[in-house]
Structure 1
């Protein structure tokens, strides 16, 4: 018992030392127009949130919960000369747009105004909805999404859904309950997008604890409407902090007509190792080994693509945010998945020295896993065999017979 408690304390200390979070508070106040850098780029996004407004234009929203969905039009300036995959937080205020991420404009929108915003910014019909993970302030999620959109070059309309996180490692349970609190708001936001005639397809990308909210919102849509909207074509789960048994149940309840799922895993993800430790020692989806049973055959049956990033190296000491910090992964996701293409599409550009391995089915995953010793990225493409609903119920269960 003492050893278990010691492990929990050590894990929390590790999280505290490597926690998410950027620079100083109050970075969201728009900078003066005469300070803008002519060589900087900018990203404009629509932000939907179930957070409580702060009443302060420098922070906009808190980590507390609000029953009312708020909508904001934000434009973020991205400084020139920075390395791909990095967020340059200001070390002091106001930000220096030559060196720092900075807010150019912020405007609260009504629902009709948000519809007008969508029509004005949705040039090609592709929409990317991002859901952040645990331990994120409002500004953390805004800057991270702006970085991803900019670095990926994705030709999409960027929409961020940010839920109430207190941005403290000691508030893990509060954050988890906040994802439950936000399910209906998220589902309604997805429905509004799917119902808009200017939208042709939607990609949902969620990270860490945000994958719970994404799966629950999609599940709720399927249960209420009989299926997930056909406009939601791709779902990307990056480092999913999901109990494998629960994910199996969620997957079943999405019904037979599902979007294309891509899961990004990393077996060296230290944040998910801690999550497993405090969550009953049940495998987390983001740490599974797709080369081993029961996952190997279950993923094949489900048609799920797995991107194994275990050997990808970034500056993240927790190995939990590789999807956004690896320039190669950012480029791949942005140029292919977010625009509606699948990873095994022949047009996927691998780039020099990327060393990507693509398998036709999960049946060849053992060979792929062996290759990743020298190749940093392995992609395993599942081949959907239309399994029956009762088979899907155990899609990732450690013991398929135990139901």
Structure 2
């Protein structure tokens, strides 16, 4: 009995250690931005940077603080709508979310060097959708891009990543992000998961309005990590209520999804395939966050290919294990040039995996999946 208790203690300690590492590396798509941008720091009149306008919906609580970084809290509320302006520096590299670095002796954000949230305006719902529809109408294909972030992401970081991705994808249309009230703290993984569950009905309501009021004929949705838990549930339920959304949902991209693989295959995938014209899954065997999530949750995550690359009818799976990315290999959908370029080909030309450069087909039980060639 002594040995049994000892093994149980070791197992429990191992799980606690896994959780500590998990919350240390985070599961969000974006890193934390510096809050040192000073609008009175000689930046007025700079013309080197590009400004990207993004639309947003959020069920974070509005504070009315004029600082765009403090305008919304981590608390949940009813949906607010608005517009953000984000800077893209002139020497921006595809796949980078430039931020101040102490190694470069940078202690404040500078729009000519960094991706910075410059302004945020809250709009009435009707004005928001009128502006969104107008921007959609200006695009050649009446296009709209929706981004849903993952765990440990602030409103500011969601805005910055959305603008960077829209810029890097050369997206012709209206970029919009939905920011659920993540606590944006590494230690609150499970709190974020519960928060997302509470936010999912509001996310679903937002998506319903997007399909009904944006006038978009081609809707592209990108969800990352934990954000896929809310998005997939919302879309499956929405499709049951309105099967017509499939005619508008051109591409659904689920990247590094922190979802139980077996649950997804058995309970979620059929509804998603019925809701979207095309679905692409990006996963990796090098994703440290997925590895730790698997250890702590006890089951392989959909974004983790170590247990086998998931081949699912109606979904094209891309194994991103070979792409260049950061040490944790979790944020590749935004910070890997190879993945961003692949996404660009997917969205710009609607090319399927077999038609896109740098992808190699691999035979597996149930069909093919694709890998990035070295």
Which residue of 67, 71, 76 maps to 1:60? 71
Aligned-pair CA distance for 1:57: 2.6
Q: Are residue 272 (structure 1) and residue 275 (structure 2) matched?
A: no
Structure 2 distance, partners of 1:43, 1:358, is: 36
Quickly say closer, same or farther: Cα 1:12–1:120, change in 2 above 3 A. same
Pairwise mapping of residues 89-104 of structure 1 onto structure 2 (< 5 A)? Answer: 89-90=99-100, 95-104=109-118
Pairwise mapping of residues 104-183 of structure 1 onto structure 2 (< 5 A)? Answer: 104-122=118-136, 123-124=138-139, 125-183=142-200
8 Å Cα contact 2:55-2:83 kept in structure 1? yes
Aligned-pair CA distance for 1:340: 6.7
Structure 2 distance, partners of 1:362, 1:157, is: 39
Tell me the alpha carbon deviations over residues 148-190 of structure 1, each in whole angstroms, 9 at most, x when there is no partner: 1112212231010010111123212211122211222212222
Tell me the alpha carbon deviations over residues 337-359 of structure 1, each in whole angstroms, 9 at most, x when there is no partner: 3347143374x4x3xxxx42146
Aligned-pair CA distance for 1:110: 0.6
Quickly say closer, same or farther: Cα 1:321–1:34, change in 2 above 3 A. closer
Which residue of 357, 362, 379 maps to 2:360? 357
Which residue of 319, 328, 332 maps to 2:329? 319
What is the TM-score of this pair, normalised by structure 2? 0.85
Quickly say closer, same or farther: Cα 1:32–1:217, change in 2 above 3 A. farther
Residue 207 of structure 2 corresponds to 190
Residue 389 of structure 1 corresponds to none
The DSSP-based 3-state class of the residue aligned with 2:254 is strand
Pairwise mapping of residues 231-380 of structure 1 onto structure 2 (< 5 A)? Answer: 231-247=248-264, 248-254=266-272, 256=274, 258-279=276-297, 281-288=298-305, 295-296=310-311, 299=312, 302-315=313-326, 317-333=327-343, 335-339=344-348, 341-344=350-353, 346=355, 348=356, 350=357, 355-358=358-361, 365=368, 375-376=373-374
8 Å Cα contact 2:361-2:368 kept in structure 1? no
Tell me the alpha carbon deviations over residues 253-308 of structure 1, each in whole angstroms, 9 at most, x when there is no partner: 447454311000001211111112222x112111136966xx44xx2xx2210111
Tell me the alpha carbon deviations over residues 70-123 of structure 1, each in whole angstroms, 9 at most, x when there is no partner: 112101011121332121224678632221222333211011111221133222
8 Å Cα contact 2:148-2:222 kept in structure 1? yes
Residue 395 of structure 1 corresponds to none
Structure 2: tracts of 5 or more residues without a match: 1-7
Residue 3 of structure 2 corresponds to none
Structure 2 distance, partners of 1:7, 1:340, is: 47
What is the TM-score of this pair, normalised by structure 1? 0.79
Instruction: Pick which of 90-99 and 302-311 moved more.
Output: 90-99
The number of equivalent residue pairs is 354
